[in-house]
Amino acid sequence: MTYGITGNTGKEALWQPAAGLIRWLEAEGIPFRLDERVAAGLVTRGLAEAAFCEAHATVDLAAEVDLVLSFGGDGTLLNTAHAVGTRGTPILGVNIGRLGFLTGSEVGEVEQAIRQTEAGEHRIEARVAIEADIEGDEPSEPRWALNDVVVAKSGSASMIDVKVHAGGHYLNDYWADGLIVATPTGSTAYSLAAGGPLLAPNTDVIVVTPIAPHTLTTRPIVLPDRVELTLEVTTREQPFLLAYDGTSEVIERGSARIVLRRASHTVRLVRLPGHGYSQTIRSKLSWGQR
């Protein structure tokens, strides 16, 4: 198996583990490729020779490897997922951040993780993504999210009005600071902070969570992920934000119609023994601790 190495090049915590890993992989005779930015950073810091990194560097990592190691936190893993795109290359997140809810290994465990993968002890979880289309708009790249799609007010603007239809049926008119539509993967992110429920990753559902709704009885709702959602956004002629996995666009017009549906592709995450969902929520959310 050929491993690809990428990560958050803005974190100093990346470089020593990455340098140690490539030395270990070379000694073990395990093939690997380096994201060109990681290769350049290793050379700049004097942690690897230029010729060695040049020989292993690539621009299109996901196309040349069997598994991508993503060093960073959840944000880095989301960036890696978008870089992989629809290719389906499995991703193993290696946590060098604070929480690392989506990552499958801690940085001190990466060599063991590779041994387990080489032994076939890993499993692949196919995670659902959401596609987003603005009617009348033709983006240069498809809009999709592994975590969530968010519509929100822009700056100091007043609350926005989001009328939602689910499967062609009127659901609700949300008068709020915004609205989050999250996958099970994203249920532990912004949606959770806004009061949404935890969703197990293998459930075929999404959750619609309002952000600071004007009506206190308006609560999050869980829907089947095969249901197409239509969001009619009105902002009193003020711009609003559309965000998908942290990538934000300012929509300048005061109203827009956004269609959300289950994406045609999934994101494949690597899971190792001892890193199941129940263990993750216990350790990351401190469940059961006094």
Segment 71-99 shows an average pLDDT of: 92
Q: How confident is the model at residue 63 (pLDDT cuts 50, 70, 90)?
A: very high
Q: Could you tell me which CATH class the domain 129-264 is placed in?
A: mainly beta
- Cα angle 47, 48, 50 (rounded to 5 degrees) comes to 130
Region 122-130: mean pLDDT is: 96
The confidence band for 173, taking pLDDT boundaries of 50, 70 and 90, is: very high
Residue ranges of the alpha helices (H) in the chain?
Answer: 15-28, 36-44, 50-56, 61-64, 74-84, 110-118, 190-193, 277-284
Choose which CATH entry (3.40.50.10330, 1.10.8.60, 3.40.50.300, 3.30.420.270) describes domain 3-122+272-284.
3.40.50.10330
CB 22 within 8 A of CB 5: yes
Query: Is the pLDDT confidence value at 284 over 90?
Result: no
Helix, coil or strand: residue 213: coil
* pLDDT at position 66: 97
Task: Kindly tell me if the per-residue pLDDT of 288 is higher than 90.
Answer: no
Which residues of the chain form beta strands (DSSP E)?
A: 3-7, 32-35, 57-58, 67-72, 91-95, 105-106, 123-134, 143-145, 148-153, 160-166, 169-176, 178-182, 205-211, 221-224, 229-234, 240-244, 247-251, 255-271
- Convert the pLDDT of each residue in 2-47 to its tens digit: 999 999 999 999 999 999 999 999 999 999 999 999 999 999 999 9
The whole-number pLDDT of residue 137 equals 82
By C-alpha distance, which of 127, 178, 192 is closest to 149?
A: 178
Domain positions in the chain: 3-122+272-284, 129-264
- Of 72-76, 97-101, 217-221, the poorest mean pLDDT is in 97-101
Quick one: which of 172, 171, 196 has its CA closest to 182?
A: 196
Is the Cβ–Cβ distance between 97 and 10 less than 8 Å? Answer: no
Question: Hey, which residues are catalytic here?
Answer: 74
**pTM summary value:** 0.93
Work out the mean pLDDT of the chain and round it to a whole number: 93
Mean pLDDT of 241-255: 89
Domain 3-122+272-284 shares a fold with domain 129-264: no
- Tokens 């590779």 sit on residue: 114
Residue 216 has pLDDT above 90, yes or no: no
